[in-house]
Chains A and B, each alone.
Chain A
Amino acid sequence: MLETEELSKQFKGKIAVEGVNLHLERGESVGLLGPNGAGKSTTISMISSLIKPTSGDVLLDGKNVIKDPGKIRRVLGVVPQEIALYEELTAYENLKFFGRIYGLRGKALEKNIEEVFELVGLTDRQKDIVKTYSGGMKRRINIAAALLHEPEVLIMDEPTVGIDPQSRSHILEMVRELNLKKGMTVLYTSHYMEEVERLCDRVYIMDHGRIISSGTKDELKSILSSEETIMIDLDRPYPDLYNDLKQHDGILQTMETETGLKLIVPKGSRLLGELFQIADRHQAKVVNVHVQTPTLEDVFLHLTGRKLRD
């Protein structure tokens, strides 16, 4: 129902987004994944008619909506990346206002406000001034404000940044529910791989303003079907060992983790023995070794040679 065609944006000649093609079917939950500065927010801003693309189109049900954004604005609910609320007002007053600007009035407005408060689990705090809320609660109201007019498509830009695991879990649960029970189409932006794995049917991976890969979770993982991941935990960092492994022909990708090293190697390669020998040579103490099937995080590493999060 919603798609973009060769969407591009330059800021003063600097390319932020280039040739992005996305499509969302009704009722789908789609993830847009990418590291900082990949162009996720810029893409979303163009879809939601906040900024005009340098070139390319946004289509809603096959109709171009860039010239006449009125149509898409009613259909979309947009959750901005930063908390955008009137902090000196109560949560209730905020929601009432955001409902009103979508044309809701009277009983319908009250009913929706009540429902949305229930959904985000803040019914008993609704008369409190937003300033007094915790970060996680503000995030939930930030989402609630985009749900009042019961949008057909919900676009969320990293809605869980900087909050506690509990609030985060609540939010993910809530979005899943909206998608499954209410059939809301969801475009979910994140640089947390596990959120997207949990929430989305299909994923676009973005880097440096371009879509570098896309597909269902399984399709993406099958990119790595011929590969496996070896996690090596060490008692401390060994830079020489890391450099040595990086130059090893049999290893596709090497990177440092918090506890040691992560290697991507061709499936079935019998490297473990050799690895221990190399570690010995550097007098490195191996605490733990674990071989696993790839995650989306590994897909990203494979595609870009970089970690998703810095």
Chain B
Amino acid sequence: MISIFLLQWQRFRREPLLVLSFFGLTIFFVFFLAGSANTNQITVQTYLEDDVSQSSADEWLTVLNQSETFRFELTEEEDARSAVMNGEASLALQLRNDNYRILVTVDDQNYQLVNGYVQQVFQEELRLAEVESSLESVEIRDTIAQELEEPVLTVTSDTIAGDDNGFLYDARLHTLFGMTLFFSVYTMMFSLTNVAEEKRLGTWDRLIVSPLRKWEVYLGHLLYCFLIGFLQILTIFLFFEYVFQFNIGANFGAILLIIACYAFAIVSVGMLLIGLVRTTQQLQAVIPIVATAMAMIGGAFWPVEIVSNEIMIILSKAMPIFYGMEALKGVAYLDQGILEISEPLAIMFLFGVFSMGIGINLMERRAS
């Protein structure tokens, strides 16, 4: 069994291109898709008039930075001015006591957006301050905040992006999880074609007539495919967590367990496919179809929540990738622990056991 397992690594070392390209593609896609989700944020360099105190500046920045669209960064006046002069930034914001100025070179769309937003924030704040001082009550803010949290009437509006209503969605993390799980399907299943390849080349027969037992041959191959998929997903997660500051959640043990269950499920589906098709060529044709369909339906490309078609929603529940995404999102968005994600984990595991059983059975039946 170990011999078979080691042999696959040896063969991988000689021809690593296919697997490495899936690895590279994942990084490429996550980087550009999630990267562009990030640049939607407009950074506004912000500096202070001389008589503005640091503490009131901090207060303003906190209020201003509540928006997802803008990021206000405190800098020195000189830096901000020269950035605008040099064209590195299209505008800069100067905070004054109870007022602001915007430094612009051209009257572009960003200016309209920033100005509109800052104006709104200032007006709201000033109005609140006015009410506060006239009522001489410091609690007015809390009362208003409380009122807002327990409204008499709730209006929910659903939008496609649905950023603030409906469901949890983080474009960067979703891209990372979706793309990584999607491309790992290719890595694992193409590695599994080694089994079909061995049957075609006749080396399989050599293994069978040797004293090795058949389960050892299967296990050696499966272990290799599992591990290469597992390592690919893990490396990419770690890469984006540490190099690009993605926050995939604090529960590392849970993440490992999710990757393991997912990799097992996918390797098993791969075995099922090998059991179903006749030739290596057919297998190579079927893998991209299965991978893409599974990723689309299972919510790796876009959240299943935006799909309204009943059939698609039911179908998504039949995709192991769906449960992988659910579990990962649970850990990353909601800080869920292993116990809370045990359901998707168990489903992936059972999915794996069944597919594997049927796959090996089909293959053995064909052989005899």
Contact = CB atoms under 8 A, between A and B. Distances in A.
A78 B7 contact: no
B205 A101 contact: no
A102 interface: yes
The interface centre, meaning the residue of B3, B205, B209 with most chain A CB atoms within 10 A of its CB, is B209
Interface range for B: 10 to 19
B208 A50 contact: yes
Interface stretch (A79-87, A171-179, A259-267, A285-293): A79-87
A49 B209 contact: yes
A97 B14 CA distance: 15
Contacts of A100: 3
Contacts of B143: none
Contacts of A85: 201, 203
Interface string B1-36: 001100100110011000000000000000000000
A7 to B, nearest CB: 16
B interface SS class: helix
Interface residues of A, number: 28
A182 B101 CA distance: 99
Contact of A80 (B205, B210, B211): B205
Contacts of B205: 45, 50, 80, 84
Contact of B209 (A78, A83, A93): A78
Contacts of B202: 80, 82-84
Contacts of A49: 208-209
A208 interface: no
A76 B209 CA distance: 8
Interface string B343-368: 00000000000000000000000001
A88 B201 CA distance: 12
Nearest to B194: A86
A65 B211 CA distance: 13
Given A73-B211, A78-B206, A101-B210, A89 B3 contact: no
13 contacts: A45-B205, A48-B209, A50-B208, A80-B202, A85-B203, A89-B10, A97-B3, A97-B7, A98-B206, A100-B3, A101-B3, A101-B207, A102-B211
Interface of A: 45, 48-52, 70, 73-74, 76, 78, 80, 82-86, 88-89, 93, 97-98, 100-103, 129, 145
Interface of B: 3-4, 7, 10-11, 14-15, 201-203, 205-212, 368
